[in-house]
């Protein structure tokens, strides 16, 4: 007998209580327990109704994701769902917390549904590279109609109780202990003589233009297949008898289970949760985080200040002049107005944040009481050191001193203070109140509770925090520099920036590297090239054609011209004809005969460069685990989530294949394509990056 579902009797009503902490996932023993207790209720003389309820914080969060990819075990979830609906007694689902995926499918199989006002329901399987696989695509549209069902299933969004009631997903909203609420509702139904109401017997949903909807959803998902396949499953609900529709749904579900995208998305799901879980931080108490200092009110500083204000922290922002202070305040006000417009904060909170929680000052003395201060000033070591000298003089003992530098040496910054143990890097991504990634850069002398404080701040701001060691560019920007170079080399050799951008967008990136350069500003790359020029290795290939454009004052989107030409009022740009002329001139100068590249080769070289540098970053301990790199690329660099990240992508391709390609490319450019020692080692041992993730979690 499974102990995951408890059976109890309350007069005429039996309660099946699912108890599988933390979120009542539907693991095999829960499914078995549900079947057993359903049979028990049916056999229990006098029982007229059954209430299904979850213990703890949720009704049911869905199928047990840990079982995916393994041999499926009986009883299967669709059979459990159909058994619930077929019960000759009235079945009520009483829902609280979340009812997601298989959890909602269980509820949809009950004859009636009641939910707490705070409850949320949804079918988030598309976020795992799947579709609902236990009758959800067949039952939901029979309640909501085709269009609403397609919206809920293809977005995987969580629907709040009030909307769920409106959509017909639930029958009633009622507050109180979920078991008591379920019992009361079941009693009312019995008292009123209500009949069983199987959703499968309701009319099938209406037909729509299925092909057009399929294409539209595929396009929106930028290559992600599961949402589009969900449309086909709903189509089956409209066109086939219920049982046949269930079979069609199951087939699509099982096919998707075999895909790389499913593997990638489930890797992303678990990595997102594992990334902030560092063994060295277990039991370490972070320092207090009530008031935050921010130095510099430019785009980055204002974004950081906004993020902290939205997390209900007090912020003291330092700017150098009246004018700069005014501009900083305006930037923050603009950010907060955006949050108000999107419904993230109330008008009252918005006003309080601006007038009470934010102080803009021109004196460092205003920082004497803050708990943590983040500088976001100009990226120049001498400027950073000057700021840290001032902070060292005014900040209270124990105050965490953080730099938002994106590549400078945090050890050197720390050494310029009398308290290097309090110094850390907190590398935000712009716009800082929107982007989810935070690299927590741990310097040689950073105290462990300061690291814990960095993570605690990130968590409070709703960020995905990744621990990084000190090196030029930390995890993300260091890897970016290398794969960006690989793209540059391909341009010199004959691929156009526009072909490269398109090939990578087709692969699933939000934007191609050249469009990103235009967005970030070409002057940034130009300055970096100048900075690095004296230290270049003689064999390093550095394209300079784009410097000619910069010399003419064209810096990308902000000046209206870069790789692309941007017209006011129009979204996106069109290829700049000047670029190919400049490239041609450089090719002639270097004696290069351009050749054709297939899109496949472009993606392969780009990805191999990314994976190779990432393996160096992990091998050197800059990132602790491959999954840390995956999360940096996913949350900071627009990497397609359905590939799980570059390391997961590499595992799926097979590390021996990746290494063989890198060694092949090295025949043309041995300096650039030096295989990472870690990659060679894993191939020699027949292991994967994911094996390293598993080792780290032991």
Active site (annotated) includes residue 589: no
Residue with Cβ nearer ligand CAA (130 or 487) = 130
- In terms of C-beta density within 10 A (0-12 exposed, 13-18 middle, 19 or more buried), how is residue 22 classed? exposed
Which residue among the candidates 55, 74, 105, 239 is catalytic per the annotation?
A: 105
Whether 478 and 617 have beta carbons less than 8 Å apart is answered as yes
| 63/615 with CB nearer ligand CAA | 63
DSSP-assigned states of every residue in 137-196: HHHHHHHH-HHHHHHHHHH-PPEEHHHHHHHTS-SEE--S-HHHHHHHHHHHHHHTTPPP
H or E stretch covering 565: strand 564-565
Identify the CA nearest to 546 among candidates 585, 504, 503: 585
Give the list of residues 6+ apart from residue 392 with CB closer than 8 angstroms, or none: 401, 417, 418, 419
Q: Please state, in angstroms and rounded to a whole number, the distance separating the CA atoms of residues 563 and 561.
A: 7
Which residue shows structure tokens 């520099």? Answer: 481
| The two structure tokens encoding residue 589 | 């100068």
Q: Are strands 49-54 and 90-95 parallel, antiparallel or unpaired?
A: parallel
Least distance in Å: CB of 133 to ligand CAA?
A: 4
Instruction: Report the distance separating Cα 60 and Cα 105, nearest Å.
Output: 10
Q: Are 549 and 516 in contact (CB under 8 A)?
A: no
Instruction: Tell me the closest approach of the beta carbon of residue 90 to ligand CAA, in angstroms.
Output: 24
Name which of 101 and 469 has its Cβ closer to ligand CAA: 101
Rounded to a whole number of angstroms, the minimum distance from the CB of residue 89 to ligand CAA is 24
CB of 268 or CB of 500, closer to ligand CAA: 268
Q: 27-39 as b/e, with b when 16 or more CB fall inside 10 Å?
A: bbebbbbbbbbbe
- CA 202, CA 288: separation in Å to the nearest integer? 56
| Beta-strand runs (E) in 396-501 | 400-403, 423-428, 437-441, 464-468
Q: Least distance in Å: CB of 670 to ligand CAA? A: 43
CA 163 to chain centre: 25
What are 182's two structure tokens? 């379920």
CB of 25 to ligand CAA, least distance (A): 4
- For residue 538, the minimal CB distance to ligand CAA (Å) is 49
CA dihedral 259, 264, 270, 271 (to 10 degrees): 170
Question: What is the token pair recorded at 79?
Answer: 């059979």
If you count them, how many residues does the chain have? 698
Using the minimum distance from each CB to ligand CAA, give the nearer residue, 54 or 497.
54
Q: Please say which residue, 57 or 584, places its beta carbon nearer to ligand CAA.
A: 57
Catalytic hit among 125, 229, 561, 586: 125
Helix (H, G, I), strand (E, B) or coil at 65: helix
Instruction: State in angstroms the smallest separation of the CB of 246 from ligand CAA.
Output: 12
Q: Are strands 5-10 and 13-18 parallel, antiparallel or unpaired?
A: antiparallel
CA distances from 421 to 297, 444, 451 (A): 26, 8, 10
Question: What's the token pair of residue 643?
Answer: 């590939």
Q: Is the Cβ of residue 62 or residue 626 nearer to ligand CAA in the bound state?
A: 62
156 or 562: CB nearest ligand CAA:
156
Q: How far apart are CA 482 and CA 644, in angstroms?
A: 20
DSSP labels, 593-640: ------HHHHHHHHHHHHHHHHHHHHHTTSSSSHHHHHHHHHHHS---
Site residues (vs ligand CAA, CB under 6 A) = 22-23, 25, 58, 61-66, 77, 98, 100-102, 105, 124-125, 128, 130, 132-134, 136, 273
| Gyration radius from the chain CA atoms | 28
CB of 157 to ligand CAA, least distance (A): 11
Is the CB of 105 or the CB of 229 nearer to ligand CAA?
Answer: 105
- Cβ 642 to ligand CAA, closest distance in Å? 15
Q: Hey, is 371 helix, strand or coil? A: coil
CB of 140 vs ligand CAA, minimal distance in Å: 11
Q: Shortest distance, CB of residue 626 to ligand CAA, whole angstroms?
A: 18
Which is it for the CA torsion 312, 301, 424, 513, positive or negative? positive
Cis ω on the peptide bond leading into residue 667 (within 30° of 0)?
A: no
In sign, the C-alpha dihedral spanning 473, 477, 482, 488 is negative
Catalytic residue check, 125: yes
The smaller minimum CB distance to ligand CAA, of residues 133 and 476, is found at 133
Give whichever of 59 and 429 is closer to ligand CAA, judged by the CB atom.
59
Cβ proximity to ligand CAA, 261 vs 587, nearer residue: 261
Cα dihedral 389/390/393/397 (nearest 10): -90
Least distance to ligand CAA, CB of residue 139, Å: 11
Whether the CB-CB separation of 403 and 374 falls below 8 Å is answered with: yes
Q: Which residues are known catalytic residues?
A: 105, 125
């Amino acid at each position: 007998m499974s102990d995951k579902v408890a059976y109890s009797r309350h007069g005429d009503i039996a309660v099946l209580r699912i108890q599988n902490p933390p979120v009542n996932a539907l693991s095999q023993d829960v499914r078995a327990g549900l079947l057993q207790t359903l049979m028990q209720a049916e056999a229990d003389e006098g029982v007229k109704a059954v209430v299904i309820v979850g213990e703890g914080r949720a009704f049911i969060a869905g199928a047990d994701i840990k079982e995916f990819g393994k041999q499926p075990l009986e009883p299967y979830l669709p059979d459990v769902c159909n058994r619930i609906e077929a019960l000759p007694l009235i079945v009520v689902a009483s829902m609280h917390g979340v009812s997601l995926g298989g959890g909602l499918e269980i509820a949809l199989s009950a004859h009636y549904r009641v939910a707490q006002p705070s409850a949320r329901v949804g079918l988030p399987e598309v976020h795992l590279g799947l579709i609902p696989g236990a009758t959800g695509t067949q039952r939901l549209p029979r309640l909501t109609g085709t269009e609403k069902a397609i919206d809920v299933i293809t977005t995987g969004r969580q629907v709040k109780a009030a909307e769920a009631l409106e959509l017909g997903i639930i029958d009633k909203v009622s507050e109180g202990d979920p078991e008591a609420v379920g019992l009361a509702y079941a009693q009312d139904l019995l008292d009123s003589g209500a009949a069983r109401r199987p959703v499968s017997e309701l009319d099938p949903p209406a037909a729509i233009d299925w092909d057009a909807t399929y294409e539209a959803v595929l396009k929106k998902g930028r290559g992600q297949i599961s949402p589009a396949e969900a449309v086909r499953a709903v189509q089956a609900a409209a066109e086939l008898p219920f049982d046949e529709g269930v079979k069609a749904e199951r087939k699509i579900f099982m096919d998707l289970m075999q895909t790389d995208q499913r593997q990638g998305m489930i890797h992303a799901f678990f990595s997102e949760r594992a990334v902030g879980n560092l063994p060295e931080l277990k039991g370490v108490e972070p320092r207090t985080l009530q008031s935050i200092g921010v130095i510099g009110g430019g785009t980055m500083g204002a974004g950081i200040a906004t993020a902290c204000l939205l997390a209900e922290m007090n912020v003291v922002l330092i700017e150098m002049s009246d004018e700069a202070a005014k501009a900083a305040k305006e930037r923050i006000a603009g950010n907060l107005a955006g949050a108000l417009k999107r419904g993230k904060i109330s008008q009252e909170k918005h006003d309080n944040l601006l007038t009470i929680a934010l102080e803009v000052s021109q004196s460092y003395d205003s920082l004497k009481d803050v708990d943590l201060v983040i500088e976001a000033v100009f990226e120049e070591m001498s400027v950073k050191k000057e700021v840290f000298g001032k902070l060292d003089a005014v900040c209270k003992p124990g105050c965490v001193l953080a730099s938002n530098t994106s590549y400078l040496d945090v050890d050197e910054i720390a050494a310029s203070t009398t308290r290097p143990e309090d110094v850390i890097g907190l590398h935000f991504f712009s716009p800082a109140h929107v982007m989810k990634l935070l690299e927590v850069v741990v310097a040689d002398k950073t105290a462990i509770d300061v690291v814990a404080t960095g993570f605690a701040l990130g968590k409070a701001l709703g960020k995905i925090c990744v621990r990084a060691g000190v090196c030029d560019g930390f995890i993300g920007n260091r890897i970016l520099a290398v794969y960006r170079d690989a793209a540059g080399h391909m341009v010199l050799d004959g691929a156009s920036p526009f072909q490269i951008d398109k090939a990578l967008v087709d692969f699933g990136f939000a934007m191609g590297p050249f469009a990103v350069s235009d967005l970030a500003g070409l002057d940034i790359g130009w300055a970096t090239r100048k900075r690095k020029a004296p230290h270049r290795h003689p064999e390093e290939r550095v394209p300079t054609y784009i410097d000619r454009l910069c010399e003419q004052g064209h810096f990308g989107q902000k000046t209206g011209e870069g790789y692309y030409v941007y017209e006011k009022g129009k979204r996106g740009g069109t290829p700049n004809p000047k670029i190919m002329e400049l490239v041609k001139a450089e090719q002639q100068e270097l004696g290069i005969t351009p050749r054709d590249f297939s899109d496949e080769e472009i993606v392969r070289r780009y990805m191999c460069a990314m994976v190779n540098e990432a393996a160096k970053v992990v091998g050197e301990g800059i990132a602790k685990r491959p999954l840390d790199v995956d999360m940096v690329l996913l949350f900071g660099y627009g990497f397609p989530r359905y590939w799980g990240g570059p390391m997961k992508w590499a595992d799926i391709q097979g590390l021996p294949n990746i290494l063989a390609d890198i060694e092949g490319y090295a025949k043309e450019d041995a300096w650039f394509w030096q295989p990472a020692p870690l990659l060679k080692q894993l191939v020699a041992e027949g292991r994967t990056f994911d094996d390293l993730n598993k080792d780290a979690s032991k």
